[in-house]
A and B are shown apart, each in its own frame.
Chain A
Amino acid sequence: MEHMWTREIFWNVGADKKIVVYCLAVIALGFFSYGIYRRYFLWRKVSRNKGRISFDALGKRVRSLIIDGLFQRRLLREYYPGLMHAFILWGFFVLFLGTLTIALQEDITSPLMGVSFLKGYFYLLYKLTLNIAGLLAMAGILMALVRRYIIRPDRLSRSAEQGVILIWILIILVTGFMLEGLRIYSLKNSWEVWSIGGWIVSEILSRLNAQDFSVLYLHKVLWWAHLIISFGFLAYIPFSRLIHLVTSPANIFINAPTSQAVLSPIVNFDASGSFGVSTVKDFTPRQIFDFDACTQCGRCQDNCPAYISEKPLSPKKVIEELKARWLETGELMKEGNGVEGKRGGENDGLLDEDVIWSCTLCMACAESCPVYISSFEKIMELRRSLVLMKSTFFPEIATFFRDVETFGDTFGRGRAFREDWAIGIDVKKISDGNQADILYWVGCQGTFHDRNNLIAGTLAQLFKAAGADFGILGKEEYCCGDPMRRIGNEYLFQKTAQRNIELLGRLNFNKIVTYCPHCFNTLKNEYPQFGAHFDVIHYTEFLRDLIRAGNLKITKNMEKRVAYHDPCYLARANDIYNVPREILKSIPGMRLVEPERAKRKTFCCGAGGGHMWMREIPGKKMNEVRVKEIMNGQPEIITTSCPYCLIMFEDGVKSLGLEGIKCLDVCEIIRDAL
């Protein structure tokens, strides 16, 4: 009886109605295409910059599309909302494939080759799969309704559209199951139990003892209703948040190779008259596309240290607001209301300045975004405009810029004092005639800060103890440029970078080892933008190698509970989080406690993005928020490998009145364990 396991495709409706179905399909696709076309105008034409979709690093793009698009890796980091979304996506994906399979048989294989494959065991499997998919999607929708209307997490925005979409999908699924149930009820084939959902409906119908005539009539009406609702849904996609079905995967594809650790350079300062973004039109088409890829899921907000510290910034709202301004501008342009429309044209204040300055450039928003949108990148563009075009920044930042520009360091001390930290350590200096294997890049913090310069010294002593051939630049060292770049002074950054690149290019060494993760990231990832490719490693990597090779021997036991805090520019930007843990674990007796947010998900200490030199923006103190979080693990020592983090934590521990908690750099712990 195997050949009986199939169904008539246009059962009860009549195959002659096929033409009507296809007409409706064409209309729906027409709406869909028109919507996308309208959108395309907004994506491409609002920006005054040219954008091109690049296809380099295709492998990476496709891989990300599969992992984060199809398999929802980033979404599934949070179980409830992750599974909820995945159920809907996967369910619909399978249902869509199912519909395509029918079209394949009905329009290609059957009329052209006389082959119908939807029968027998394959048909049963097909039905089972589609039913499971449908039920999963339904479960997802129900979860979404519960979440949106009962749980109500803070990060979700309220809008009627969201509810409409969910109910619409639910209706499509319910009518689908009802259709199947009605058909199964009238045909009464016992093997159709494989169509679980439809079978359940048919069972209900038989309990109700439904009349055959009314069943057939209801089926016919529902069939058309289901069809029209489904096509309507297709047509609705580009006119609603559903557009993310198109834009989100596209955005993953577009942004996959972009490294968050690197800010895009302003090229050709002399030729360009405008820097950063002061109106929506200054964004590139790629950045504008980001706005449309955003689904307002709010993961960025949940992970933003500024938002958590009650500062006036939400990375989600940043994108929402910019999106609104973009659409407003686009509509005005479409109406032919002049390129410089009244509201959407040349307007200042895309975002409040307090919002723009609240960001610490920790990259947590970009890290948590399931569709690769970087909120901080947009904030950065606005900062550039404030700093480079309008010269609007806190007065203490003016002092800071002047210090770096005049003295080449972030402390405004000057090169005469550059070697003071090394007094009594006897460190070799690398110069034109003097080379070394390792160039130890100390950084301004290690050089001048009266706590961090002790750490710089400890590091030098460890290198010496391990017999490493290393040298410093001494008076020739200069700020790496990171804080200027992240405050928005790209001009000063590039001048600084070029000076350093010229110097480093002239000297003989094999590797650069840095103390500060910010110097590390800048030298390693940002200098290549200017043609300089140095082999740069962080000191934790260097120490790990020295310990592995047996050049540094850990001899002491340390019965201590130690919490390691991951610096953003080491863990999130450069994936270095196992190395310091490996070092710490090599000390016998040490109990490593992990803070709640660790590794790539780490939480900013509060000093990034120039905040070391900026006033506290109203809200909670970020360093105290983080110290409290770390203290949940009840450590005796808080350790990290970044000078900024250390200063912030020492201050946080003091202001929270935590007695007996020590803040140490990883290298200080190593020194004590030798």
Chain B
Amino acid sequence: MTMHRDVWVLLEAEDKKIKSSSVALIDEGRRLAVQLGGGLTAVFLGQTVEGMDHLVGTHGASNLYFIHDETLHQYAPELYERLLTQLLLGKKPYLVMAAATSLGSDLMPRVAAKLKAPLVSNCVEIRVGEDMKFIKPVQNGRLHATVVCKAPGTKMATVDPDVLTIAKEENQPKIAEVTEMRPDTEGDRLSIRVTGFLKADHRTIDISEAEIIVAIGRGVGSEENFKIIQEFADRIGAAIGGTRPAVDAGILPFERQIGQTGKAVSPKLIIMCGISGAMEFTKGIENARTKVAINMDRQSRVFKSVDLGIVDDLNRVIPQIIEHIDAMADEEKGQ
């Protein structure tokens, strides 16, 4: 069989650096390419990133297609779609992967549709066998489905960025062969254009998208205590959410309610203050990664399922944490 078994990965950059999820994706691509017996190629659309060839090569990709043009500095869906489709049509790789970021999740389906290629989104694992097997969460992550791809030709996948971790092993420094491409974008009439970026404000961000949440419950008691919580949340850039009693008491608006009758959240860190941990609430934080609880009641149900439990008055604990953060900030300034 003279079939190409090459693996391609799509890279993304942020703040003029290749995103760590993209670097991890190269690692994952290398693992699969070895098993498939093919080469690994990276493709990047956008602005020049310093040391890109070195980074890509070191992580195992022998080739890097670098498509750059002023119009590509920001994600332009139609243009990205056209350019990537053209490139892939010519090279016909076996597997194309992107991280399931907002860019990846938007671009890959567009390209897949143009290529008439199968796409499995948001995979947590990809297995090489007679047929490629893609494992992805379904039903809000409570079940995992295995999708088997029997179609010939290019297969596509997006990978959950949360499972992408950069391989620990030391790599031999290498330099990837870079093919620079300058596309002709004169004739492109773009119906979607990015006009600017607004940085997410932790105070206004939707709690279901927040990465850090400070959650409050009935135990916070008064609006007075709430001020300390707000100060704390501002210090750590956290969004504030809460239980139904906190909403019913008028401390928070309904959009900030977490739980059975509110929103399900999936932050990397949630700090729960004065929350008893009734299951009507905990149902909403099942997907939170690290859970911390501060509660005066040692017997509180909330401590059953947290990573760190602090048995104390939040009026004592939180000012101390704030003080600590401020001290750390001063130290940084001093240096």
Contact = CB atoms under 8 A, between A and B. Distances in A.
A613 B261 contact: yes
Nearest to A614: B261
B107 to A, nearest CB: 27
Contacts of A406: 139, 142-143
B218 interface: yes
A655 B218 contact: yes
Interface string A635-674: 0000000000001000100110000000000000000000
A616 interface: yes
B301 interface: yes
Interface residues of B, number: 22
B261 A396 contact: yes
Interface string A398-425: 0100100011000110100000000000
A173 B64 CA distance: 102
Interface residues of A, number: 22
Interface in B172-228: 218
Contacts of A612: 260-261
Given A406-B142, A412-B142, A655-B218, A616 B244 contact: yes
Contacts of B301: 450
A323 interface: no
Interface in B217-275: 218, 244-245, 247-249, 254, 257, 260-264
B140 interface: yes
A60 interface: no
Contacts of B327: none
A402 B139 CA distance: 8
Contacts of B142: 406-407, 412, 414
B218 A449 contact: no
Contacts of A399: 140, 264
Contacts of B139: 402, 406
Contact of A396 (B140, B247, B260): B260
A621 interface: yes
Contact of A616 (B218, B248, B264): B248
B257 A450 contact: no
B279 interface: yes
B2 to A, nearest CB: 45
A18 interface: no
A399 B287 CA distance: 14
A615 interface: yes
B218 A402 contact: no
B257 A411 contact: no
A396 B262 contact: yes
Contact of B248 (A395, A448, A655): A655
B116 to A, nearest CB: 31
A451 to B, nearest CB: 8
Nearest to A410: B260
Contacts of B54: none
B283 interface: yes
Contacts of A651: 245
A402 B247 CA distance: 25
B104 to A, nearest CB: 25
A448 B260 CA distance: 14
Contact of A655 (B245, B257, B279): B245
Nearest to B143: A406
Nearest to B279: A450
B218 A654 contact: yes
A412 B218 contact: no
Given A449-B279, A615-B257, A621 B248 contact: yes
A402 B140 contact: yes
A270 B260 CA distance: 32
Interface string A612-626: 111110000100000
A449 B281 CA distance: 12
A651 B261 CA distance: 14
B291 to A, nearest CB: 17
Nearest to B247: A616
A407 B248 CA distance: 30
A621 B218 CA distance: 15
Contacts of A655: 218, 245, 248-249
A366 B142 CA distance: 41
Contact of B261 (A449, A615, A647): A615
A535 B263 CA distance: 40
Interface string B282-301: 01000000000000000001
Contacts of A647: 280
20 contacts: A396-B262, A396-B263, A399-B140, A399-B264, A406-B142, A411-B283, A414-B142, A449-B279, A450-B278, A450-B301, A613-B260, A615-B261, A615-B262, A616-B247, A616-B248, A616-B254, A616-B261, A654-B245, A655-B218, A655-B245
Interface of A: 395-396, 399, 402, 406-407, 411-412, 414, 448-450, 612-616, 621, 647, 651, 654-655
Closest 9 interchain pairs by CB? Answer: A406-B139, A615-B261, A450-B279, A396-B261, A614-B261, A655-B245, A615-B254, A613-B260, A613-B261
Given A616-B248, A654-B245, A655-B218, 11 more contacts: A396-B260, A396-B261, A402-B139, A412-B283, A448-B279, A449-B279, A450-B279, A615-B261, A615-B262, A616-B261, A654-B218
